[in-house]
A and B are shown apart, each in its own frame.
Chain A
């Protein structure tokens, strides 16, 4: 027991160390992809909490990602606020929107809830498009300032890499705490059996609404960070396709695994890039991989170690 704990800690420390030196050894493009993997981990973590802990399929995450990005873009470029207040504004608006749409919609379950979120996300994209006084429409908003702390600017992929992954690790720790804590227990309980959870005095609707708002806040944070990294936002980044990608992160990772989200995010950023060498076939190959994961690997990538262990145990 203690030996595995020790091994786990050693492995964790090794991964951290490798993570620290990656920007120094990788070329810029790879670091750039790693930054995106970090941003996607944050947004995917929200979707994963909903899917893995509550069994809710959320196809509206790009809406919240967009709200975060546009809040940052508008408040810094048009209003001239500081980037940090833009991030807070984005999170606040996202959480508010999530509460307003989540309160009625979260009474739905299963397929119906999933398609309701898809509809909400689609409506969101239309508003991003139509409100061009706010979002810049097709042309988008450019010229966002880089984030800075005490005069240190996060203005290169390597610098931003450290920022985003520090945020990722903090959020993963917080999420793990949440899931292993009392609310996490209740979430998993209601996922396994809603009636029995109700008997244990779990307020199902309240807890689902809270976690939806939390997920939206994570989406907005990822969106704001993305906007400051890219320095440019346009409606193309917040479509339903992006929501599907966010959903795939926990699906590929194994929805119940918090730390697995990182693997899912790395998968959706790097695999299409690797496959792009196949030309026009790459989207099809990516799609087939997804279908295989869903069909054959119910626990995603996180389920692989257990499978291997089972095979050896036989």
Chain B
């Protein structure tokens, strides 16, 4: 074991951290806006990645437009799910469990639909800034990974501003924290929930587009992404996008150190055990914010 190896592992871990964080951010956004845990957030990523591949390769669109198509597809799926499934269930006041079962069922369905329509192959996208790598202290990091980290941070900043400074952002929070109160001051709660799903879907799709050049996109990768993203979000206190980044870093870095120090087969055991310990011992997340138990 040498220092180059540790640096290399940390950089691999750093990249993974932001992948988990991006999924976690989407989960946090949807939980914050609807009090629903979305077990198909990883499948928004699959939709976004697949549609971008379709736009770029099959439809021959320029890269930017293909990405726009992917993000639009994620947003549209979010809206569709809200209108078709969530709305009727809210109307009959379904339990927490029912929403979880719904999103698990949707994850299963979307994965199967992508398999049916798009096939079982894994697809790659060219990286942003090309497929090159940069060398840092003898270790390598792809240029795209640096873009991924930068864009993730931009998303977090954007969300921070959105939720604090814009009417829409504030209304979306109000609608979930106190639906009756929000209604009484003229906020359309159902519409805000729709916006939340659109936002969550778009962030999920963006995550998918950003990870595809690194790990490729295929129909069955959704659930795995969701679980790691959820771990990141939980560590961050579940409603806080910045917290999800912090959570992602803890999960991603401890995983990569587990590979160096332990057998790599137990990588996920380490990540998930951290998540379980956090849930039991620090139920409000690393940042200690409230609003963890709600539902």
Contacts and interface: CB of A to CB of B under 8 A. Distances in A.
Asked whether the complex places CB atoms of A and B closer than 8 A, the reply is: yes
Contacts of A286: 108, 112
Contacts of A127: 269
A111 B89 contact: no
Contact of B95 (A55, A281, A290): A55
A107 interface: yes
Contact of B227 (A119, A284, A290, A294): A119
A111 B101 CA distance: 10
Interface in B54-96: 84-85, 88-89, 92, 94-96
B266 interface: yes
> B interface, by DSSP: helix, strand, loop or mixed?
helix
A294 B89 CA distance: 9
Contact of A284 (B113, B265, B280, B293): B113
B37 A283 contact: no
B108 A287 contact: yes
A291 B109 contact: yes
Given A104-B280, A286-B112, A123 B92 contact: no
Interface in A122-149: 122-123, 126-127, 129-130
Nearest to A111: B37
Given A55-B97, A57-B100, A120 B276 contact: yes
A45 interface: no
A4 B277 CA distance: 52
A280 B117 CA distance: 9
Interface string B280-295: 1001000000001101
A130 B223 CA distance: 21
A126 B97 contact: no
Contacts of A284: 109, 112-113, 115-116
A110 interface: yes
B151 interface: no
A235 to B, nearest CB: 12
Contacts of B280: 104-105, 107-108
Interface in B94-152: 94-98, 100-102, 104-106, 108-113, 115-116
Nearest to A51: B97
Interface residues of A, number: 40
A21 interface: no
A112 B279 contact: yes
B276 A116 contact: yes
Contacts of B116: 280-281, 283-284
Nearest to B230: A115
A115 B104 contact: no
A110 B266 contact: no
Interface residues of B, number: 46
Given A118-B227, A119-B276, A120-B276, A57 B101 contact: yes
Interface in A94-124: 104-105, 107-112, 114-116, 118-120, 122-123
B275 interface: yes
Interface string A208-247: 0000000000000000000000000000000010001001
A280 B115 contact: yes
Interface string A235-275: 00000100010010001000000000000000000000000
A129 B109 contact: no
Contacts of A251: 101
A288 interface: yes
A295 B96 contact: no
Given A119-B272, A284-B116, A247 B101 contact: yes
Interface in B32-68: 37, 39
B295 A122 contact: no
B112 A294 contact: no
Contacts of A129: 265
A296 interface: yes
B115 A283 contact: yes
Interface in B257-277: 263, 265-266, 268-269, 272-273, 275-276
Nearest to B275: A119
A303 interface: no
A306 B227 CA distance: 37
B105 A110 contact: no
Contacts of A283: 108, 112, 115-116
Contacts of B108: 244, 283, 286-287, 290
| Most interface-central of A51, A110, A122, A129 (chain B CB within 10 A) | A110
A23 interface: no
Contact of A291 (B85, B94, B95, B265): B85
Given A55-B95, A110-B97, A111-B100, A287 B266 contact: no
18 contacts: A55-B95, A105-B276, A105-B280, A107-B280, A109-B293, A110-B97, A111-B37, A115-B39, A123-B268, A247-B104, A280-B116, A284-B109, A284-B115, A287-B105, A287-B111, A291-B105, A298-B92, A298-B98
Given A110-B295, A123-B273, A298-B94, 7 more contacts: A57-B97, A105-B279, A108-B279, A114-B97, A294-B101, A295-B89, A298-B98
